[in-house]
Amino acid sequence: MTDQQEIIDQADRRSAHNYNPLPLVLERGEGIWVWDTDGNKYLDCLSAYSAVNQGHCHPKIIEAMVSQAKKITLTSRAFHNDRMGPFLEKLCQMANMDKALPMNTGAEAVETAIKAVRKWGYEIKGVEDNKAEIIVVRDNFHGRTIATVSMSSEPDYRKNFGPFTPGFKLIDYNDLSALEQAITPNTVALIMEPIQGEAGIIIPDDGFLSNAREIRKQNNVLFVLDEIQTGLGRTGKLFCFQHEENAAPDILIVGKALSGGVYPVSAILASDEIMDVFTPGIHGSTFGGNPLGAAIGLAALQVIEDEDLVERSQILGDYLMRKLELIQTNKIVDIRGRGLFIGIELDKSLGGARSYCEVLMGKGILCKETHDHVIRLAPPLVIENEHIDWLVDQIAKVLKD
């Protein structure tokens, strides 16, 4: 029995089986690379679901963490701290928003957005108490809490977790007609991802976001974008909605790469009018906006700017897409994506993408299947052309084998 197998067996024995990870044990990471406990080196093409856009253990982010950890890590929001203000100032400037409300995990940020749009609906729009409706789209992924699985159309996420939170109305993704028909006087918001990640890197038609925003404007409904996976450079823009003109949301949800994968940091951003529905005591988090997380978040944002990671994502993403499109095999149904957020959809007759991810692991590449038949490629934004060349060569060999 290997050391790795002992660790895997221990995890299986002591951990709830709510994940099905690839059979390896990682112990170290640097940039685009990770190493297992046997010293094997892998190119990380998942980036912790886009949390490590800046690369594993970025030295500037780690330095900020260590420095702050020696001073003070937690004050709670009962007191001010000297790190939260500068962090939120930077985040709001980059997102062109008035205010931010910091939380920890992405799911907490989505829950915060749900509370914000409902409270806005009652206090600003004038919706009757407990009648607010939120439109969401099929095949979405917004988290694993009861409210976020109540928004989901995925049976596996919902089975035996009911009763569910009411007030959500499902429509098809990328369907403007369905959106218009779903809106009622009680509708307070549309919440969606600008690209659906867990659904298989599904991209809406050009103009969909801006048209959805216009429909929102005509009906006094808030437009909310979950950019937890797609934001902060992943798609070749700082935020994915920037691929279209006039597609800016009323509420923007961010997380994951907001800390460079070093610590849980998330937030929602919005205008003064929307944020003013929050008053002292009605919503909060002991750790939200804590000085350690704020120092890490500020450093993570600074790295994105200083290293031109958004431009790198666009240029290298285009390069990766062109290389992938040269692969000659009838196993590929479609290749789609933006920036370094790409999905390779395989023919369903092949039995799923999991086995291909396992073979790629043996060749030193870590990726994960999504929506059963899609290989997701989302390496850290610090990847270089030479790494992409090697990556595509390995993928081509595996697909042709």
Within a 10 A sphere around the Cβ of 132, how many other Cβ atoms? 21
Distance (Å, whole) CA 188 – CA 296: 34
Per-residue pLDDT band for 109 (boundaries 50, 70, 90) equals very high
> How many Cα atoms are found within 13 Å in the side-chain-facing hemisphere of 295?
20
Per-residue pLDDT band for 333 (boundaries 50, 70, 90) equals very high
Q: What is residue 401's predicted lDDT score, i.e. its pLDDT?
A: 83
Region of 308 please: left (phi>0), alpha (psi -120 to 50) or beta: left
What number is the average pLDDT over the span 343-358? Answer: 96
Domains of the chain by residue range: 3-54+308-400, 59-306
Q: Tell me which fold the domain 3-54+308-400 belongs to.
A: Aspartate Aminotransferase, domain 1 (3.90.1150)
Region of 256 please: left (phi>0), alpha (psi -120 to 50) or beta: left
pLDDT exceeds 70 at position 302: yes
CATH of 59-306, one of 3.40.640.10, 3.40.50.1470, 3.40.50.300, 2.40.50.100: 3.40.640.10
pLDDT exceeds 60 at position 317: yes
Residue where the block lists tokens 């940091």? 265
Per-residue pLDDT band for 3 (boundaries 50, 70, 90) equals confident
pLDDT tens-place string over residues 13-67: 999 999 999 999 999 999 999 999 999 999 999 999 999 999 999 999 999 999 9
Per-residue pLDDT band for 1 (boundaries 50, 70, 90) equals very low
374, with CB counted inside 10 A (0-12, 13-18, 19+), is: buried
What number is the average pLDDT over the span 96-112? Answer: 98
- Residues 295, 65: contact at Cβ < 8 Å? yes
Q: What is the DSSP letter of 17?
A: S
Distance (Å, whole) CA 139 – CA 137: 7
Written as six digits, the tokens of 198 are 């867990």
Region of 189 please: left (phi>0), alpha (psi -120 to 50) or beta: beta
Residue where the block lists tokens 């690209």? 195
- Residues 222, 251: contact at Cβ < 8 Å? yes
Distance (Å, whole) CA 27 – CA 25: 7
Element housing 132 (H / E) = none
Query: So which residues are the catalytic ones?
Result: 141, 226, 256
Distance (Å, whole) CA 29 – CA 50: 15
Q: Average pLDDT of the chain? A: 97
Q: What is residue 2's predicted lDDT score, i.e. its pLDDT?
A: 62
Q: At CB < 8 A and 24+ separation, what contacts does 206-211 make? A: 206/244, 207/244, 208/174, 208/176, 209/241, 209/244, 209/247, 210/244, 210/245, 210/246, 210/247, 211/176
pLDDT exceeds 70 at position 96: yes
What number is the average pLDDT over the span 284-305? Answer: 98
pLDDT tens-place string over residues 247-278: 999 999 999 999 999 999 999 999 999 999 99
Per-residue pLDDT band for 93 (boundaries 50, 70, 90) equals very high
User: How do strand 99-103 and strand 266-270 relate by DSSP bridges?
Assistant: antiparallel
